[in-house]
């Protein structure tokens, strides 16, 4: 009755024995932790994007698991998987009685999918965020269909630009000069020519990944009231994602000059203009990268470091000086974030828990850094 094998041991006894193993011997007790060091922040967002239910094979909020083990749901990849993988890894490490020098914090934030303006953007400015004393953060990445894992060290900056063109109105049957439409057409042509140039640059260089060039899409055209009325105003909206190595001032001047070249009365306004691109180094100069990549090497995981094409909450974290990596431990998985039939195989999900279970001890044990004092 007293002595059982390790599998059968009462969990309370296991916990007791783990506690006994911590050498809290005076006069230099090893309490295991060092709250003076900066912490590790595990961030995830809780919101998900909308669904077109009719295009789904299963109810996107049922989390249906098929006979092969694929779990279908909105958020299966982006990014409810990561939230639970963090929690499960932390739970596992706690159950095993591990203590680390650095504290691990988890944040579950709202509104990432609509820009984070009421979420992480505000939170990083709050005293509660400062109180976490984050030294390094992990946040979401994107699945990788191959054997490799993608890790993001920077992001492109979202610039949402609305170009408004004003011109002479009149009857739709006449050759009216200086119309809003023809001037808007010029700006649209200039911007779409720039798009083509960036696309070609990406296509022609196999070393460049999507996030390394600037993308733009024409996403809205507005204006007009009737077939036979030439409107005095028309507008076009563009979603630019500006690569981190671009000279932002020169780029804005380029946009202005395209508007000016189109004629009088063409102006632009920004609905979103991120101006603080930051790069988290992925070399030996960054001890967080060293710890992260060392674990991946030890686990035989191959990494593909990239610039995130879209925008995540990482940009707010990096902008307040906290290095961050965007990493969702999802390989051999088609990229289905924001798509119909978003799904994740349960084995990939579980493997991700294993990966965090190895990553977190390494990150939370990075020795004291100059930035810690
Ligand atoms: C730029 S604010 C919107 C943020 C959004 N993030 C995830 O998709 C994105 O469009 O990248
Ligand atoms: Zn996301
Ligand atoms: Zn998303």
Summarize pLDDT for 201-211 with one digit per residue, the tens. 999 999 999 99
Is residue 194, in this structure, part of any structural domain at all? yes
CA distance linking residue 46 with residue 140, whole number of Å: 12
- What are φ and ψ of residue 24, in 5° steps? -90, 50
Is residue 334, in this structure, part of any structural domain at all? yes
Statement to judge: residues 197 and 311 lie in one domain: no
Statement to judge: residues 71 and 104 lie in one domain: yes
Nearest to 170, CA basis, from 211, 244, 225: 225
What is the complex's ipTM, to 2 decimals? 0.98
Kindly report, residue by residue over 320-331, the tens digit of the pLDDT. Answer: 999 999 999 999
Statement to judge: residues 149 and 287 lie in one domain: yes
Residue range 237-250: mean pLDDT, rounded: 98
Question: Could you tell me the pTM of the whole model?
Answer: 0.92
pLDDT of residue 97: 80
Q: 78: CA distance to ligand 3 center in Å?
A: 5
pLDDT of residue 31: 75
Statement to judge: residues 268 and 293 lie in one domain: no
Q: Is the pLDDT of residue 55 over 80?
A: yes
Domain boundary among 273, 306, 327: 273
Kindly report, residue by residue over 86-105, the tens digit of the pLDDT. Answer: 999 999 999 888 889 999 99
Is residue 239, in this structure, part of any structural domain at all? yes
Q: Is the pLDDT of residue 1 over 60?
A: no
Nearest to 106, CA basis, from 187, 59, 41: 41
Is residue 191, in this structure, part of any structural domain at all? yes
pLDDT of residue 263: 98
Q: What percentage of the chain has pLDDT greater than the value 70?
A: 98
Statement to judge: residues 163 and 262 lie in one domain: yes
Statement to judge: residues 225 and 295 lie in one domain: no
Kindly report the protein residue whose alpha carbon is nearest to atom 7 of ligand 1. Answer: 113
pLDDT of residue 282: 98
Rg (CA), the chain: 26
Is residue 4, in this structure, part of any structural domain at all? no
Domain boundary among 243, 258, 273: 273
pLDDT of residue 69: 98
For the chain, what is the mean pLDDT? 96
Kindly report the protein residue whose alpha carbon is nearest to atom 2 of ligand 1. Answer: 115
Containing structural domain, residue 238: 158-273
Where do we find the tokens 């005293």? 127
Residues within 6 Å of ligand 1 by CB = 113, 115, 158, 272, 310-312
CA distance linking residue 301 with residue 315, whole number of Å: 25
Q: Count of domains in the chain?
A: 2
Q: Is the pLDDT of residue 2 over 70?
A: no
Q: How does residue 20 score in pLDDT terms, banded at 50, 70 and 90?
A: confident
Q: 251: CA distance to ligand 3 center in Å?
A: 27
Q: Is the pLDDT of residue 29 over 80?
A: no
């Amino acid at each position: 009755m007293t002595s059982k094998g390790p599998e059968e041991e009462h969990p309370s006894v296991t916990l007791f024995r783990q506690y006994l193993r911590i050498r809290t011997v005076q006069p230099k007790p090893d309490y295991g932790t060092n709250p003076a060091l900066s912490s590790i922040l595990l961030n995830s967002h809780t919101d998900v994007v909308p669904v077109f239910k009719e295009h789904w094979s299963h109810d996107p909020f049922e989390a249906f698991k098929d006979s092969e083990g694929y779990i279908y749901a909105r958020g299966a990849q982006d990014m409810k998987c990561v939230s639970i993988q963090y929690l499960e890894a932390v739970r596992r490490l706690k159950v095993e009685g591990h203590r680390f020098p650095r504290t691990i914090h988890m944040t579950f934030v709202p509104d990432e999918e609509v820009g984070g303006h009421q979420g992480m953007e505000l939170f990083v400015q709050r005293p509660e965020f400062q109180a976490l004393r984050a030294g390094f953060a992990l946040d979401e990445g994107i699945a990788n269909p191959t054997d490799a894992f993608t890790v993001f060290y920077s992001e492109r900056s979202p610039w949402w630009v609305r170009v408004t063109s004003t011109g002479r109105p009149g009857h739709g049957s006449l050759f009216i000069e200086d119309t809003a439409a023809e001037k808007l057409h010029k700006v649209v042509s200039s911007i779409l020519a720039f798009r083509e140039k960036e696309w070609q640059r990406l296509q022609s260089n196999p070393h460049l990944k999507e996030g390394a060039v600037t993308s733009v899409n024409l996403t809205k055209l507005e204006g007009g009231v009737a077939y036979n009325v030439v409107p005095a105003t028309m507008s076009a909206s563009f979603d630019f994602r500006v690569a981190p190595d671009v000279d932002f001032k020169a780029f804005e001047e380029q946009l202005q000059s395209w508007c000016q070249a189109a004629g009088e009365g063409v102006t632009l306004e920004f609905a979103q203009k991120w101006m603080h691109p930051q790069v988290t180094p992925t070399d030996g100069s960054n001890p967080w990268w060293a710890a992260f990549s060392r674990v991946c090497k030890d686990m035989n995981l191959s990494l593909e470091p990239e610039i995130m094409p879209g925008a995540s909450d990482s940009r707010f974290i990096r902008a307040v000086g906290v290095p961050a990596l965007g990493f969702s431990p999802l390989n051999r998985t088609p990229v289905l974030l924001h798509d119909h039939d978003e799904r994740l195989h349960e084995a990939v999900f579980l493997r991700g828990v294993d990966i965090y279970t190895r990553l977190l001890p390494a990150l939370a044990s990075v020795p004291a850094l100059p930035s810690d004092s």
